[in-house]
Chains A and B, each alone.
Chain A
Amino acid sequence: GAVVSQHPSWVICKSGTSVKIECRSLDFQATTMFWYRQFPKQSLMLMATSNEGSKATYEQGVEKDKFLINHASLTLSTLTVTSAHPEDSSFYICSAREGAMNTEAFFGQGTRLTVV
């Protein structure tokens, strides 16, 4: 089946530094990728929708200058958390939409970010 690979699975960084998270669709072309954030025991909150070759669409309340999204190819989207702070510590998950399906069927394994 289709696979979405997310890397790294966990990362610890110092306050003020930037962290890049990669999301790859391994065996299909993902015209649209989605980035979510999940706090402990809570559901997924959509941060932004990433379309290949165009600017990402951010949800209300998400700082686009802090969470930089790049979707340069049909198989890769990246999320960069810039000038990270402890409150950015969370579980970040990407998902990818395959062209023929009308839903996001495939999620990455998630990235646990801890900012110290």
Chain B
Amino acid sequence: QKEVEQDPGPLSVPEGAIVSLNCTYSNSAFQYFMWYRQYSRKGPELLMYTYSSGNKEDGRFTAQVDKSSKYISLFIRDSQPSDSATYLCAMKAAGNKLTFGGGTRVLVKP
């Protein structure tokens, strides 16, 4: 079993819809939770960074962390075709390396 599980998709939504992404994990030591966006043949770009449990909002993006369920989510409101990319969750324990999910490919159709 992988430490971090993420549905590979693809997830196809119409423009303007809410994109809902999530990851589950098994390591209770994880404290830092990140979401990255990666366009094809490019490096990942940090979208959201959350420490411990709770919600965080930044523009159209909302990240949620539920440590009791070992479950994290990313919501993208008012999705645009330019949001079409692969979204990677990542997490780490203090002082340790990042562990990535496998990524979810998202396609926002005009």
Please report A residues at the B interface, Cβ cutoff 8 Å: 4, 6, 34, 41-44, 46, 49, 91, 93, 95, 102-110, 112
Give A4 to B45 CA distance when docked, in angstroms: 11
Contacting residues, chain B, for A43 (C-beta < 8 A): 88, 100-103
Q: Do residues B45 and A107 form an inter-chain contact, with CB atoms below 8 A?
A: yes
- For B83-110 the 0/1 string (1 means CB < 8 A from A) is 0000010001010011011110000000
Distance in angstroms from B17 CB to nearest chain A CB is: 24
Contacting residues, chain B, for A108 (C-beta < 8 A): 43
Q: Do residues A103 and B101 form an inter-chain contact, with CB atoms below 8 A?
A: no
Distance in angstroms from B53 CB to nearest chain A CB is: 16
Q: Can you list 8 A-B pairs, Cβ within 8 angstroms, ordered by A? A: A41-B8, A42-B103, A43-B103, A91-B41, A93-B44, A103-B32, A107-B44, A109-B42
- What DSSP secondary structure best describes chain A's contact surface? strand
Contacting residues, chain B, for A91 (C-beta < 8 A): 41
Count the B residues whose beta carbon is within 8 Å of the partner chain — how many? 21
The chain B residue with its CB closest to the CB of A110 is B43
Contacting residues, chain A, for B103 (C-beta < 8 A): 42-43
Give A103 to B44 CA distance when docked, in angstroms: 13
The chain B residue with its CB closest to the CB of A4 is B43
Partner of B43, one of A6, A41, A42, A46: A6
Q: Do residues A110 and B42 form an inter-chain contact, with CB atoms below 8 A?
A: yes
Q: For B41, B94, B101, which residue has the most chain A Cβ atoms within 10 angstroms? A: B41
Q: Do residues A103 and B42 form an inter-chain contact, with CB atoms below 8 A?
A: no
Give A6 to B32 CA distance when docked, in angstroms: 26
Give A34 to B43 CA distance when docked, in angstroms: 13
